[in-house]
Amino acid sequence: MRPWTNKTVALGVVGLICLIIGTLLSCMWPLVFEGILRKELPLTQNSRGFELWKDTDKLPLFIDFYLFNWTNPDELREEGKKPNFVQMGPYRFRERRVKVNVVFHPENSTVSYDQMKYWYFDAEHSNGTLKDRVIALNAVAVSAAHTIRYWNPMMQGTLSYLLASSKIYINKTAGELLFEGYSDQIISMGSLMASDDFEVPPFDKFGWFYMRNGSTYFDGHFNVGTGEDDLANLGVVKLWNYKDTIKNFHTPCNAVEGIAGEFWPPKRGTEDISIWTGELCRPLTYEYSEDVMHLGIKGYKFSLGEKSLGNNTKRQYPHEQAKYFEKTTTTEDFFSADVTTPRNANSNNKNINEDNPDVVNIGRCYCNGECTPMGLMNITACRFGAPAFVSLPHFHKADPILRSQISGMNPQDDIHNFYVTLEPNTGIPLDVGARLQINVLLQPSLTISFFKDVPKIFFPMFWFNVRGGVPDEMAGGLRQLLMLPTSGLYGSIILATIGATLIVIVIIVQFIRNSPPLPGKSRRTQATNGTKTELVYMDTTTPPDDHERNDRPLQPKN
Ligand SMILES: *[C@@H]1O[C@H](CO)[C@@H](O)[C@H](O)[C@H]1NC(C)=O
Ligand SMILES: *[C@@H]1O[C@H](CO)[C@@H](O)[C@H](O)[C@H]1NC(C)=O
Ligand SMILES: *[C@@H]1O[C@H](CO)[C@@H](O)[C@H](O)[C@H]1NC(C)=O
Ligand SMILES: *[C@@H]1O[C@H](CO)[C@@H](O)[C@H](O)[C@H]1NC(C)=O
Ligand SMILES: *[C@@H]1O[C@H](CO)[C@@H](O)[C@H](O)[C@H]1NC(C)=O
Ligand SMILES: *[C@@H]1O[C@H](CO)[C@@H](O)[C@H](O)[C@H]1NC(C)=O
C-alpha cells in the first residue's frame, strides 16, 4: 500500500478544489457575466441608467444644424442653370431629453412615457449666429400647391391668386427657419380651410422646429419594453401613440417596430437593428458595416444603407407578424400588384424565396405611391401632405441623379454617414451620429400658374447631425466592466491550472515514493539534509513490508 502523508493529502485536496472551482468558474463565467447584465441592464425605477434615461441633462448630447443657402433663385426657370447651394453652419444646440408621465407596467415588463426635448443654442461652437440671413425655397407655398393638386379648379384659382403675391423663395434668418418660425398668409388661409378630410398643421407659423422646444406633442407617446422579462425586449417600442400600427403607410410598412433609441439590446451579433423614428413615422434599419475601436473599446459599427434608402428592399416576415397585414391584402396580392419587379427578377438572390408569401417588397410600401430614386424616404404622409423627403446629408448614398440636378452637394462618408457604434456585449452605444437631410419636392403644376414652368427637383433645405455616445469620463468604467468576462475567465483558468499542477505534483511525488529505491543511499543522505523532505524520503526508502511499519508512528496507514 501507498503511504500518504498529511501534507500530500492536504495538497492534493487543495489542488482538487482549485481545479473544480476553476473549471466550474471558467465554464460558468459567461453565465455569471450574463447574470450581472441581466440584473444591471433592465430599466427599472432603481436601475443605474434610470436617472440618465429620464433626463439626459448630464449627457453630452448635441445637434448641429446646417442650412442650405440658395444663391441663385432668380435663375430657377433658366435653361441650363442649376440651383446652387452654399452650406451654412453648424448652428449648434445642446439637446436635452426629458421623459414625463413615466409609468412602469411590471405585469407586461413595459414602461410608458412621453418625451420632451429642449434645445439650447451654443454660440461658442456655432459658425454663425441665428440672425444669419438665408435664402431658401418657399416650402409653405410649395406644400400648399402640392396639397391642393387634386382640388377643384376654383379653389386652385384662389390659391393661385394668393400665391401671386408670394415668391418662390424666402429670405429669413436661421433662427426663424429653425425654432422661431415665421408667419405666412398661406398658413393663415390654410387654417380657415381645415376640415375633416383636409388635415392642416395646427400651427400659426412655419419653422422646421417651430413649437418643438419643450413640447411632448412631436415625439408621441411610447410604450417600451424594460427588458425585465427578456433582455431582448430592452428598449423595444411595443406601442406608439397607443397602437402597434400607424395609419401613414400601407401594410406591412405600417408596423410600429424597432427600438426607441436609448437602450440597445445587448448580446447582439451583426444582424440588422431597427430604430423607431416617430418623426418619420417609420423605422430606420441599421446595417452592420465594420468593427471599430472607440475610446479603446471594440464596437460594431452599423450604418443606414440600402434597406432604408432603397425603393426595392425585400424582407421576409416571421409568419406571426402577418397579423399586421391588412385582411384585404395578402402578401401574395402585394407582390402581384408590384408590376415593376417581375417575381423572378431577383431569383439569383438566394436569401429571397420568391414563392414565399412572407417575403414582401417593403421598399414599395414605403414609397406610398410614386417611388423615388434610391436615397430618399417619402414622409409626405407624415407631414400633413407636405412633399417632404428625407435623405442622408448631401444626398450621400443616393442615386447620383439627385445631385446632378443641383450644384453644391459634396457627400463624404465620414461626415455625412448615419451610424451607431455599439459595444456588442452590453449594447451600450459608444458613438452615435444621426444625420439626416430634409428635402422638399418642387414640381410643376398645370393649374397654378405660379408653378407652371418650374423644373422637378428635390430641393435640399437643411440637414442635422445629432451626436452622442459614451462620455470620455465614463469610458474607463465601461472598459473595466468589459474586462470582467476576460479577467474572470483568466482568473478561473489560472485557478484551475494551479489546481491541476498541485495534483500532478502530488501524483509525481507519490510515484517517486513508490518506485524502487534505486540509488537509495544517496537519497537518504539527501533526505537527511532537509527536515522538510525527510519524511517523504524516509518513506520511499522503507521496505514495502507493512507489518514492519506498524511500529513507526510516522503516518497512519492508508
Ligand atoms: C446667402 O446667399 C445670399 C445670396 O447669394 C447672400 O446675399 C447672403 O449673404 C448669403 N447668406 C449668408 C449668411 O452667407
Ligand atoms: C463657416 O461658414 C462658412 C459659410 O457660411 C463656411 O465657408 C466656412 O467653411 C464655415 N466654417 C467652418 C469651420 O465650418
Ligand atoms: C427652449 O426652451 C428653454 C426653456 O424653456 C429655453 O431656455 C431655450 O432657450 C429654448 N431654446 C430655443 C432654441 O428656443
Ligand atoms: C402593458 O400594460 C399596460 C397597463 O396594463 C398597458 O397600458 C400597455 O398597453 C401594455 N403594453 C403592451 C405592449 O401590451
Ligand atoms: C409620396 O407619398 C405621397 C403620399 O404619402 C404620395 O402621394 C406620393 O406619390 C409619394 N411619392 C412622391 C414621389 O411624391
Ligand atoms: C428605384 O431606385 C432606382 C435607383 O435609384 C431608380 O433607378 C429607379 O428608377 C427607382 N424606381 C422607381 C420606381 O422610381
The 10 Å Cβ neighbour count of residue 130 is 18
Residue (of 168, 184, 81) closest to 445 by Cα position = 168
Q: What is the CA radius of gyration of the chain?
A: 35
Q: Is the CB of 74 under 6 A from ligand 1?
A: no
Q: Report how far ligand 3's centroid is from the alpha carbon of 222 (Å).
A: 24
Contact 214 CB / ligand 3 (< 6 Å): yes
Adjacent-strand bridge partners of 407: 84
Residue 324 has pLDDT above 60, yes or no: no
Grid cell 435663375 in the structure block, residue: 75
Instruction: Report whether pLDDT(41) > 90.
Output: no
C-alpha cell at 310: 432603397
| Alpha carbon of 374 to ligand 6 centroid (Å) | 6
Ligand 4 pocket, 105 CB below 6 A?
yes
Pocket residue to mutate for ligand 3, from 64, 95, 119, most atoms within 8 A of Cβ:
119
Q: Ligand 2: which residue has its CA nearest to atom 7? A: 88
Instruction: Please give the distance, rounded to the nearest whole angstrom, from the Cα atom of residue 105 to the centre of ligand 2.
Output: 49
Mean pLDDT value across residues 192-220: 78
Check if 138 has its Cβ closer than 6 Å to any atom of ligand 4: no
**Which residue from 77, 136, 112, 167 is spatially nearest to 438, judged by alpha carbons?**
136
Q: In this predicted model, what pLDDT tens digit does every residue of 49-102 receive, in sequence order?
A: 888 889 988 888 899 999 999 999 998 888 888 999 999 989 999 999 999 999
Q: What is the dihedral of CA 262, 264, 265, 267, to 10 degrees?
A: -140
Cis peptide before 106 (omega within 30 of 0): no
Quote the CA–CA distance of 32 and 30 in Å, as a whole number. 5
Query: CB-side exposure of 1: number of CA atoms within 13 Å?
Result: 12
Provide residues with CB under 6 Å of ligand 6: 311, 340, 371, 373-374, 399
The structure's pTM equals: 0.81
Nearest by Cα to 266 from 433, 39, 41: 41
The verdict on the CB of residue 208 being under 6 Å from ligand 3 is: no
Q: Is the confidence at residue 552, as pLDDT, over 60?
A: no
Indicate whether residue 215 lines ligand 3 (CB < 6 A): no
pLDDT in tens, 108-166: 999 999 999 999 999 999 999 999 999 999 988 888 888 777 777 777 777 777 777 77
Are 492 and 29 a contacting pair, CB within 8 Å?
yes
Which residue CA neighbors atom 12 of ligand 2 most closely?
Answer: 127
- pLDDT band at residue 546 using 50, 70 and 90 as cut-offs: very low
